[in-house]
């Protein structure tokens, strides 16, 4: 049943994560509970950093994508591991700074950064802004002029490759709200605009992100080639040599047994060698290579522990097993059809013998966490642990039906610590006015 390195089963047949007994954790912190193996997160950070050193002869930067999972403790951990941080809102910037994250190591992304967010970012000295549109360039230009300051920017480019879990397409249309198109010429226009205002902009380089939860390496290779080709074109036209190439994130993780995403090592090697080869072919100096992983750092390190409540049989059809959370703490099955696996945390060694459907407690028929999962016979009060929920679950959680959001606990070497306390019902009305 257990196929992830974060997890093991102890003599009591209880599921363990980071050396901590999940049954004890549920008793101590309540359910639903997000539990994250801190060591595993750190290890993934190091795998990225080490792989970049090993496979890329130029300078390399790993910028963790905070949208996957960001709290004060996570921002601090990322800083301790020497990574940079990709942020996409004033809230993420605030979280990073509050945790003591150096503003100069932030990459500020987003297709519609508000005036307030930009002003705050410039005010605190955010390292680099990844610009997404002409409107944003004009807005920044005015702000830099007013401040008589120069800002470091990257331009987000649509390389015309779109990738999803097991599939990718080469798009001529480049139909995406993000970035400047290569095919429609808007990327070149943006470069021209930026280079014509050298007193305001320091154009550091270019960025692209082709998708998320990707299991193939080829689209990343194609994206790297296209981006280096574009950088060479910019050099040939304007004599400007960009120093940084940011290839975004996107590496997939294991949700279910049988999922076989590439390792971090082979992912990094693939991108690094594609950049190197393309640079050599075009006689382009090796750029500083930036990777922005989110899911592949936080995802497999996390589980969610629920308590089983109502069990309902629909004769001849299915058995619904309802848990005390659902789409409020994990919207991914409802939103993307994401598939998860689970075990009974308090009977993790028992032979799985029945196929059931795990339902959430939200007032919504679509609130199904797992359709058809094989588990031991279940009783009310059992604990269910869903795997690989470390990314895009807490960060996308809601208070639907006025359910308080769960606590988040970090575990490491047999010790646990609360990093986000459970919301209370009082918290739910804290912002309300009568
Ligand atoms: N960089 C940029 C510019 C991005 O837009 C993203 C993700 C990343 C890096 C990190 O990608 P990752 O390594 O995590 O794949 N909510 C969706 C995922 C949205 C990803 C958006 N951008 C989900 O739950 O699957």
Mean pLDDT (whole number) for 138-165: 91
Residues, the chain: 434
Question: Using 50, 70 and 90 to split pLDDT, how confident is the model at 1?
Answer: low
Segment 190-203, tens digit of pLDDT = 999 999 999 999 99
How many angstroms is it from 220 CA to the middle of ligand 1? Answer: 14
Q: How far is CA 102 from CA 46, 85, 123, 357, 387, in A?
A: 19, 9, 13, 45, 32
Name the residue of 74, 179, 251, 294 whose CB sits within 8 Å of the most ligand 1 atoms, as the mutation to test its pocket. 294
Q: Which of 127, 122, 156 is nearest to 139 (CA)?
A: 122
Which residues are catalytically annotated? 363
Question: Using 50, 70 and 90 to split pLDDT, how confident is the model at 172?
Answer: low
Task: Write the DSSP symbol of residue 404.
Answer: P
Atom of ligand 1 nearest to the CA of 213: 15
Mean pLDDT (whole number) for 52-70: 98
Query: DSSP string of 72-118?
Result: HHHHHHHHHTT-EEEE-SHHHHHHHHHTT--GGGEEE--SS--HHHH
CB of 332 sitting under 6 A from ligand 1: yes
How many angstroms is it from 328 CA to the middle of ligand 1? Answer: 19
Per the CB < 8 A criterion, the answer to whether 400 and 428 are in contact is no
Which pLDDT score is estimated for 171?
64
Provide the 10 A C-beta neighbour count for residue 3. Answer: 14
Q: How far is CA 214 from the centre of its chain?
A: 12
Instruction: Give dist(CA 248, CA 219) in Å, integer.
Output: 12
Which pLDDT score is estimated for 101?
98
Instruction: Give dist(CA 221, CA 219) in Å, integer.
Output: 5
Q: Which of 395, 344, 341 is nearest to 369 (CA)?
A: 341
Q: Is the pLDDT of residue 13 over 80?
A: yes
Segment 118-142, tens digit of pLDDT = 999 999 999 999 999 999 999 999 9
Find all residues with CB under 8 Å of 57, minimum gap 6, and list them: 276, 286
Question: Using 50, 70 and 90 to split pLDDT, how confident is the model at 289?
Answer: very high
CB of 213 sitting under 6 A from ligand 1: yes
The crossing angle, in degrees rounded to 10, of helices 38-55 and 264-281 is 30
Instruction: Give dist(CA 213, CA 102) in Å, integer.
Output: 29
Only one residue has tokens 């050298």, namely 198
CB of 246 sitting under 6 A from ligand 1: no
Instruction: Give dist(CA 364, CA 349) in Å, integer.
Output: 33
H/E element holding 232?
helix 218-238
Q: How far is CA 231 from CA 35, 70, 76, 108, 167, in A?
A: 42, 32, 34, 21, 26
Q: Is the pLDDT of residue 165 over 80?
A: no
Q: Is the pLDDT of residue 149 over 90?
A: no
Question: Using 50, 70 and 90 to split pLDDT, how confident is the model at 178?
Answer: confident
Atom of ligand 1 nearest to the CA of 250: 15
CB of 179 sitting under 6 A from ligand 1: no
* Side-chain-facing half-sphere of 357: CA atoms under 13 Å: 16
Which pLDDT score is estimated for 388?
98
CB of 392 sitting under 6 A from ligand 1: yes
Mean pLDDT (whole number) for 404-429: 98
Per the CB < 8 A criterion, the answer to whether 162 and 176 are in contact is yes
CB of 389 sitting under 6 A from ligand 1: no
Segment 315-332, tens digit of pLDDT = 999 999 999 999 999 999
| Strand pairing class (318-323; 354-359) | parallel
* Sheet strands (E) in 40-160: 60-65, 84-87, 106-108, 128-131, 151-158
Please give the structure tokens belonging to residue 60.
């390399």
Which pLDDT score is estimated for 22?
98
Provide the 10 A C-beta neighbour count for residue 171. Answer: 15
Segment 20-60, tens digit of pLDDT = 999 999 999 999 999 999 999 999 999 999 999 999 999 99
Please give the structure tokens belonging to residue 332.
């991914």
Question: Using 50, 70 and 90 to split pLDDT, how confident is the model at 342?
Answer: very high
Mean pLDDT (whole number) for 239-265: 96
Provide the 10 A C-beta neighbour count for residue 367. Answer: 21
Q: How far is CA 206 from CA 231, 244, 290, in A?
A: 8, 6, 10
Please give the structure tokens belonging to residue 42.
């750190």
Query: What are the backbone angles phi and psi of residue 234, rounded to the nearest 5°?
Result: -60, -40
Task: Write the DSSP symbol of residue 124.
Answer: H
Task: Write the DSSP symbol of residue 251.
Answer: B
Which pLDDT score is estimated for 162?
82
Instruction: Give dist(CA 358, CA 379) in Å, integer.
Output: 13
Q: How much of the chain, in percent, has pLDDT values that exceed 70?
A: 99
Among protein residues, the one whose CA lies closest to atom 8 of ligand 1 = 249
State pTM to two decimals.
0.97
Which pLDDT score is estimated for 173?
56
Mean pLDDT (whole number) for 109-113: 96
């Amino acid at each position: 049943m257990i196929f992830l390195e974060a997890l093991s089963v102890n003599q009591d047949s209880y599921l363990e994560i980071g050396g901590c007994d999940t049954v004890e954790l549920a008793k101590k912190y309540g359910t639903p509970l997000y539990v994250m193996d801190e060591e595993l997160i750190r290890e993934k950070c190091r795998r990225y950093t080490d792989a970049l050193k090993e496979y890329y002869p130029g300078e390399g930067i790993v910028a963790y994508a905070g949208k996957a999972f960001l709290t004060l403790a996570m921002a601090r951990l990322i800083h301790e591991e020497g990574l940079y941080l990709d942020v996409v809102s004033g809230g993420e910037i605030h979280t990073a700074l509050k945790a003591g994250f150096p503003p100069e190591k932030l990459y500020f992304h987003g297709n519609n950064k508000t005036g307030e967010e930009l002003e705050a970012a410039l005010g605190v000295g955010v390292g680099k802004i990844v610009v997404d549109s002409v409107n944003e360039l004009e807005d920044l230009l005015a702000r830099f002029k007013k401040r008589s300051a120069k800002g470091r920017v990257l331009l987000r480019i649509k390389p015309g490759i779109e990738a999803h879990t097991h599939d990718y397409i080469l798009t001529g249309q480049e139909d995406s709200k993000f970035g400047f198109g290569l095919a429609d010429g808007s990327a070149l226009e943006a470069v021209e605009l930026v280079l014509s205002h050298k007193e305001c902009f320091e154009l550091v380089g270019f960025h692209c992100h082709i998708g998320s939860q990707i299991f193939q390496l080829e689209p990343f290779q194609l994206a790297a080639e296209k981006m280096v080709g574009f950088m060479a074109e910019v050099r040939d036209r304007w004599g400007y040599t960009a120093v940084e190439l940011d290839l975004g994130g996107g590496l997939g993780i294991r949700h279910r047994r049988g999922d076989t995403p590439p390792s971090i090592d082979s992912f990094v090697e693939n991108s690094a060698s594609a950049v190197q080869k393309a640079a050599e072919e075009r006689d382009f100096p090796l750029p500083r290579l930036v990777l922005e992983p989110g899911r592949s750092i936080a995802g497999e390190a996390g589980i969610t522990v629920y308590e089983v409540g109502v069990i309902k049989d629909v004769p001849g059809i299915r058995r619904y097993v309802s848990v005390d959370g659902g789409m409020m703490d994990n919207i991914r099955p409802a939103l993307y059809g994401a598939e998860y696996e689970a075990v009974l945390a308090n009977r993790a060694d028992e032979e799985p013998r029945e196929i059931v459907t795990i339902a959430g407690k939200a007032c919504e028929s679509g609130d199904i966490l797992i359709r058809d999962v094989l588990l031991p016979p279940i009783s009310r009060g059992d604990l269910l642990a869903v795997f690989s929920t470390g990314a895009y679950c807490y960060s996308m959680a809601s208070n639907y039906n006025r359910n308080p959001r769960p606590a988040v606990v970090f575990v490491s070497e047999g010790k646990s610590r609360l990093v986000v306390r459970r919301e209370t019902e009082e918290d739910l009305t804290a912002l309300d006015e009568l």
